[in-house]
Structure 1
C-alpha cells in the first residue's frame, strides 16, 4: 500500500510540474533586444545609485570621522533589503513583474529627488543620509527578486548564465566606478545634485522597462492572494527540494566568510605588508579589473552544463587563494596583488552559475518568493560575516583569519561538489539544457507529419 501511495504522490507531483510548464509563457522572439533595453536603463540607475550612496558615505566620513557611524550606515543599506526581500518575492509572484520593477525604481527615484530637495534647502544631516540608505535598501528588496525572476521569462535556459554574468558585471562596474564618480561629483557639484542624478537614472530605468515587452506571468492561485500563505509557499518550495535547501545553507556560510574577508583587505595591506593608501588602491583595482575579466570569460563560454560543479570549483579554489594569501610574508606584497587578481577571476564563476541553478530549478510562478529568500540569505550573510571577522581577527590576527576563512570556504566548495544530494541536483539541472531542443524537434516533426497529411 505504501508503494502505491508513493507512486500516486509522484504522479501528482509530476502533474503539477506539467501544469506549471504548460502555463509558462513562450519566450519572446526579440528577447535580446528586450534584455538590452532593460540593461541600458538599469546601468544608468545602478551607476547613479552607487554614486549617491558613496557620496553619502563620504559625507558621513567628513562629518563624523567615526567608524561606528560608517558601520551604522552600512547596516542601514543592508538590513532592510535582507529583512524585506521575502516580502518583495511574494509581491513579484503576485503581481505583474514589469510593474513591480517600475514601482521599485520609481520609489527609489522619488526618495532621491525628495532628499535632494531637502538638502538643497539646507537641511542636510547624518540622520537624513541614514534614512536615504535605508529607503534605497527597501526599494532593492522589491527590485532584485522581481528582476531575477523576470529573466527566465525572457532568456532561453542555455543563456541564463551569460545574462546573469552580464548583470553581475554591471554591479561590479558600479562598485569600481561608483566610489570615484560619487565622491568626485560630491566635491564638484554638491550632494544634492548627485541625488538629482540618481533620480534621473531611476526615471530612465522606469522608461526602459515601460517600453520593454515583458510577459505578464504571475501566480493567480488563491494561495498567492494571502501574503502569509504565499510566503509559506516559498519556504515550502525550498523545503520540498532538499538539494536547494542544502545548497542554500552552504552558500550562506561561504558568503558570510567572504563578506568578512572583503572588509579586511585594506587592513591586510596596512598590517601585514606595511602598506599605504596607494598600495591598498592597487589591490582593490587588481580585484576589480580581473573580476571583469573572469565575467567576460564566463559570458563568452556560458558556463557549460554542470553549473553546480562550476560553483563548487570556484569556491574551493577561492579558499585556496585565501590560505596562500594568509601565508605571505611582509616582503611579498606583489604576490598579494597577484593572488588577489587571480581570486577576482575565480570568484566570477560563483554567483552567475549559482543564480542560474535557482532559475532553472524553481517553478516560474514561485520564482520571486525563492529569489527573495536567497536575496535575504545574501544580504544577511554580510553583517554576520563582518561581525565574525571583526571579532575573530582581533584575536587571531588578520593574516591567520585569512587562512581560517580560506579553509572554511574550501570545505564549502568541496561539500557543494561532492555531497550526493547536490551532485544529483547538478545532473538534473544539466538535463534541462536539452529540453528546448527536444521540444523543438518534436514540434518540427509533428509539423512535417501534418504537412504530409495535408498533401495526401
Structure 2
C-alpha cells in the first residue's frame, strides 16, 4: 500500500504542479479555485448591472473606483496587520465578510431593491475587506509551501487558478445573466465562499512564531516604506506595476461598453471576451508554473508588458467577435506574464519579517492604482469614445515599461547577492552541492 509521501511525490504531480506536494497548499488551491469562479461571476455581473441601470461609462468607472480605492488608502496598514497578526485568522474573517457582501447584493437584486447608492456602498465595503485580504493572502501562501524551492511554482499556480476561474466565471455568468439575471450570479458567489472557508478550517498549520514587535504602527509603516522604496529592484517593480495598473487594467471596466456598443452584442458577448482574456492569462500562468527558476524573469517582464500594450492596441481596432477574442487573448497573456513575474521576484527577494508590508505595497500598486485608471478611462471614454480610450491605454502600457528596461542590467547586479545567498544561481547551487559532497563522509555499509 502506498504511503502519503508517495502520493504527493514530484514524480506523481509533475514539475508543473510540484507545489501541490504540500497538504495545506492543496487545500488552499482547491478552496480558492471554487471561490474565485464565483468572484469572477460577480465581477462581470456587477459591470453589466451598472451599465444596464445607468447607460453611463462614467458611473461604471466610478463603481469600480469605489471597490478598489480602499486598497490604495488602506494597503500599507493592511501590510502591517499581516506582519503582526495571524494571517490564517485574518483570512477567515475577510472571507466571511466577503460572503456577507455578496449575499446582501444578491438579496437586493433578487428582491428588485438594488440601486446605484447601494451598489457604491457595497463596493466600498468589499474594497475595504479586499485591502486586508490581499495583503494577508499574498503573504500566507508562502507559509503553506513546505519546500522553499516550490515557492515560485506556488505563485504561478495561484495565477493559474485565478485565471482558470477568470476563464470559467465570466463565461458562465454571461449565460446565467441572459437566462435569469444578475442576482443569481451574486448568490452563487456568496455560496462559493463556503469552499474557501472550509479549506482554511481544515488546514494543519504549525504555529508561526512572530517576533515581539515594540514599534508603533506608524513606525512599522515607515520602516516598510523605507525598505521597499530604498531598494531599487523592489521600487522599480512596484512602480512598473503601478503604471501598468493605471493605464492597462481599466480595459476590463470598458468591456461592457465595447461588447454592447462596438460589437453590438449582449451579456454573452461580454462573457466570451472576458473568457478569451482568461485563456491568454491562464496560458501565461501555466508557462510560468513550468519554469524551474526565477532567472530570466526580468527580460520576460519587459517583453510581456509590451505584448500587453500591443494586444490592447490591436483590440481597439477590432469590430468582429472572433478577432476581438484573439486580440484580447494576447493582452491577457501579456498582462499575466508581467504581473505574475513581478510577484514571483518580489516574493523571492523580500525579507520574511517585511513580507506583508512589501506585498501590501504590491497590492496598493496593482489594485490601488486601478481605480484612478478606471475613473480616468470612464471620463475619457465619455468624451472621445471607448475605441480611442483603449488605443491610448495600449500605447501608454507599451511605453511605461521603458524605464524598467533601461535599469534592468543594474537591477540584476543588485539582486545577484540575494540569489547567491538563496542558492538560486546555477553555479552557486552546484558549488554548494559539491562542497557538501566533499565535506560529508561516505556512508559505511
TM range (shorter): 0.7 to 0.9
Q: TM-score, normalised by structure 2?
A: 0.78
Q: Work out which of the residue numbers 347, 350, 362 in structure 1 matches 2:338.
A: 350
CA RMSD of aligned residues (A): 4.0
- 2:180 & 2:45 partners in 1: Cα distance? 11
- 2:311 & 2:112 partners in 1: Cα distance? 49
Residue 103 of structure 1 corresponds to: 93
- Cα deviation for residue 375 of structure 1 reads 0.7
Could you report, residue by residue, the CA deviation over 1:350-408 in whole angstroms, capped at 9, with x for unpaired residues?
11111011111111121111111211111222122234444556777766655554443
- Cα deviation for residue 218 of structure 1 reads 5.9
Residue 144 of structure 2 corresponds to: 154
Residue 213 of structure 1 corresponds to: 204
* Segment of structure 1 superposing worse, 375-384 or 149-158: 149-158
Residue 243 of structure 2 corresponds to: 253
Residue 414 of structure 1 corresponds to: 402
The aligned runs of 1:67-146 (5 Å cut-off) are 67-113=57-103, 124-146=114-136
- 1:115 & 1:325 partners in 2: Cα distance? 32
1:313/1:417 contact within 8 Å kept: no
Structure number, greater radius of gyration = 1
Q: Secondary structure at the match of 2:263?
A: coil
Residue 362 of structure 2 corresponds to: 374
Q: Work out which of the residue numbers 290, 304, 316 in structure 2 matches 1:314.
A: 304
Q: Secondary structure at the match of 1:163?
A: helix
Q: Work out which of the residue numbers 18, 36, 47 in structure 2 matches 1:46.
A: 36
Residue 171 of structure 1 corresponds to: 162
- 2:251 & 2:44 partners in 1: Cα distance? 21
- Cα deviation for residue 67 of structure 1 reads 4.1
2:88/2:200 contact within 8 Å kept: yes
Could you report, residue by residue, the CA deviation over 1:197-249 in whole angstroms, capped at 9, with x for unpaired residues?
4443223212211222344436423345x322222222122133132113322
Could you report, residue by residue, the CA deviation over 1:305-332 in whole angstroms, capped at 9, with x for unpaired residues?
1222211221133334445566x6x789
Residues 42 and 332 of structure 1: is their aligned pair in 2 closer, same or farther, counting only changes over 3 Å?
A: closer
1:238/1:370 contact within 8 Å kept: yes
Q: TM-score, normalised by structure 1?
A: 0.76
Residues 128 and 443 of structure 1: is their aligned pair in 2 closer, same or farther, counting only changes over 3 Å?
A: farther
1:307/1:426 contact within 8 Å kept: no
Residues 37 and 447 of structure 1: is their aligned pair in 2 closer, same or farther, counting only changes over 3 Å?
A: farther
* Segment of structure 1 superposing worse, 346-355 or 303-312: 303-312
- 1:248 & 1:314 partners in 2: Cα distance? 16
- 1:360 matches 2:360: no
- Cα deviation for residue 163 of structure 1 reads 2.2
- Cα deviation for residue 282 of structure 1 reads 5.4
- Cα deviation for residue 349 of structure 1 reads 1.4
- 2:433 & 2:132 partners in 1: Cα distance? 39
Q: Secondary structure at the match of 1:313?
A: helix
The aligned runs of 1:216-235 (5 Å cut-off) are 216-217=207-208, 219-223=210-214, 226-235=216-225
- 2:245 & 2:49 partners in 1: Cα distance? 29
2:57/2:379 contact within 8 Å kept: no
Residues 41 and 442 of structure 1: is their aligned pair in 2 closer, same or farther, counting only changes over 3 Å?
A: farther
Residues 160 and 283 of structure 1: is their aligned pair in 2 closer, same or farther, counting only changes over 3 Å?
A: same
1:92/1:218 contact within 8 Å kept: no
The aligned runs of 1:425-440 (5 Å cut-off) are 425=414, 427-428=416-417, 430-431=419-420, 432=422, 434=424
Could you report, residue by residue, the CA deviation over 1:262-284 in whole angstroms, capped at 9, with x for unpaired residues?
4456666788xx63227766554
Could you report, residue by residue, the CA deviation over 1:141-184 in whole angstroms, capped at 9, with x for unpaired residues?
11111111122233345433332232223332333433454465
Residue 277 of structure 1 corresponds to: 265
2:37/2:169 contact within 8 Å kept: yes
Residue 285 of structure 2 corresponds to: 295
Give 5+ residue unaligned stretches, structure 2: 1-18
